[in-house]
């Protein structure tokens, strides 16, 4: 437990929540929050101009839980009269919903990949970054992409995050912290940057690359072999067995590391 609190950016409170999740698979704070705010935060904040605070306000006042509720309220003119919103915001919300419906919140890989590579090359110019990788559906080279995720190892997260959030293509900063920042680019898609510990880089890369189905299957295999696998590493009880590289995780679990492009839980684990 003390080892978790030594992870950069993880204090006593966050450490306690991580330990609670590792032991129970749940976090009481999150469960209580979901009861107070039973909203689809990810769906609603995907609308241009809507941040978490605005979403919470919309739920408190108009009980808006999802995109369908939001569109109805905007079309009925119920948002324009709210404090800190107005007619312009209401119009922007409707435009944002229209854009989401047209693209279904996803982008063609060929359209965004050049911009992703540009961000990656810009970040690589920082000597403070020891390692960097794009992950998620971009790393798996899926035809369409929802958002973009980068992982880095650095001893100077503040400088890295400041650089990441100040790029000229950034039109919106959804969140900025020492371990994670989220931005929207003028090209229309969102990018997350996560700082992870050096010793957990491989496990974080494996976890955030996905796919979800591949990860579920892999975690089940780990459990069957007496391990626990998550983005922080592969553990037996409280002892970390692997996590620095993807290859060592798969090796300990008795398999070869499959290429990211085929991690879809369609036989690649058994191969």
Name the pTM for this structure. 0.64
What distances in angstroms separate CA 270 from CA 216, 219, 252, 257, 266, one per listed residue?
A: 14, 14, 15, 11, 9
| Domains contained in the chain, CATH given | 2-103 (1.10.150.20), 123-195 (3.30.460.10), 199-262 (3.30.210.10)
151 DSSP β-pair partners = 133, 194
Strand-strand pairing, 148-154 and 190-195:
parallel
Model pLDDT, residue 1? 56
Model pLDDT, residue 27? 87
Per-residue pLDDT of the chain (271 residues; tens, 9 = 90+): 566 766 776 777 888 888 888 888 888 887 887 788 788 888 898 887 888 889 999 999 999 999 999 999 999 999 999 998 999 999 999 988 887 776 676 888 998 999 999 999 999 999 999 999 999 999 999 988 989 999 999 999 999 999 999 999 999 999 999 999 999 998 889 999 999 999 999 999 999 999 999 999 999 999 999 999 999 999 999 899 999 999 999 999 999 999 999 999 999 998 7
Alpha carbons 55 and 58: distance in angstroms, whole number: 5
Alpha carbons 164 and 75: distance in angstroms, whole number: 36
CA torsion sign for 220, 221, 223, 229 is negative
Alpha carbons 43 and 262: distance in angstroms, whole number: 27
């Amino acid at each position: 437990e003390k080892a978790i609190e030594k992870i950069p950016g993880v204090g006593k409170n966050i450490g306690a929540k991580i330990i609670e999740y590792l032991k129970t698979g749940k976090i009481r704070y999150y469960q209580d929050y979901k009861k107070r705010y039973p909203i689809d935060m990810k769906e609603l904040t995907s609308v241009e101009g809507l941040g978490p605070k605005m979403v919470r306000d919309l739920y408190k006042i108009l009980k808006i839980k999802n995109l369908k509720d939001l569109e109805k309220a905007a079309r009925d003119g119920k948002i324009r009269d709210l404090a800190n919103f107005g007619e312009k915001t209401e119009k922007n919300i409707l435009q944002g919903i229209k854009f989401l419906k047209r693209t279904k919140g996803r982008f063609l890989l060929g359209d965004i990949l050049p911009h992703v590579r540009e961000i990656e090359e810009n970040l690589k110019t920082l000597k403070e970054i020891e390692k960097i990788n794009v992950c998620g559906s971009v790393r798996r080279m899926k035809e369409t992409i929802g958002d973009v995720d980068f992982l880095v190892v650095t001893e100077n997260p503040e400088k890295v995050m400041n650089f990441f959030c100040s790029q000229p293509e950034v039109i919106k900063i959804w969140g900025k912290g020492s371990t994670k920042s989220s931005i929207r680019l003028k090209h229309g898609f969102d990018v997350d940057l996560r700082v992870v510990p050096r010793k957990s880089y491989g496990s974080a890369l494996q976890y955030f690359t996905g796919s979800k189905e591949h990860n579920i299957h892999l975690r089940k295999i780990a459990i069957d072999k007496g391990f626990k696998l998550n983005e922080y590493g592969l553990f037996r009880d409280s002892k970390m067995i692997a996590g620095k590289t993807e290859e060592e995780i798969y090796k300990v679990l008795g398999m070869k590391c499959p290429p990211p492009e085929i991690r879809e839980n369609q036989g690649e684990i058994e191969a």
